[in-house]
Amino acid sequence: MTLICADCELAVPRLQRDHYEPRYLHGHTDKDQSYCPVCDRPENLWYLCGTCHDRKSWFENRDAHMGNRNPLGYRHTDEARERMRQANLGRRHTSEAREKNRLAALEQWRRLKGG
């Protein structure tokens, strides 16, 4: 008997049950496999082939472990970043660091120009 994956719509011999809306959004961990009336409602369940399930789980795990980052991907709040910026205003690099930065910028410019 072949079954149809709800995501890629391929016929496969075996499907895996998955939550359309991830359980971690409702405070569940991987070790907490107890029944949840919100997460386990029928409209939140779908059946995927192994490849689609692995891919979806990879993205969910990545998103779940991003923590409380802002949209740019920083872990710090905007206020904390501003405090760090203010604390570093006026600091100067050593002459060696300035030369290293200049050479890196020049190399990057050459790569962008194709030369």
Which pLDDT tens digit goes with each residue over 25-53? Answer: 776 666 667 777 878 888 889 999 999 99
What confidence tens digit (pLDDT) does each residue in 98-115 have? 899 889 989 988 888 875
Specify the higher pLDDT residue, 61 or 74. 61
Using only C-alpha atoms, the chain has a radius of gyration, in whole angstroms, of 24
* pLDDT computed for residue 51 by the predictor: 92
Rounded to two decimals, the pTM is 0.52
Cα(82)–Cα(72) distance, integer angstroms: 15
Residue 24 contacts residue 60 (beta carbons within 8 Å) = yes
* pLDDT computed for residue 4 by the predictor: 92
The answer, yes or no, to whether residue 70 has pLDDT greater than 90, is no
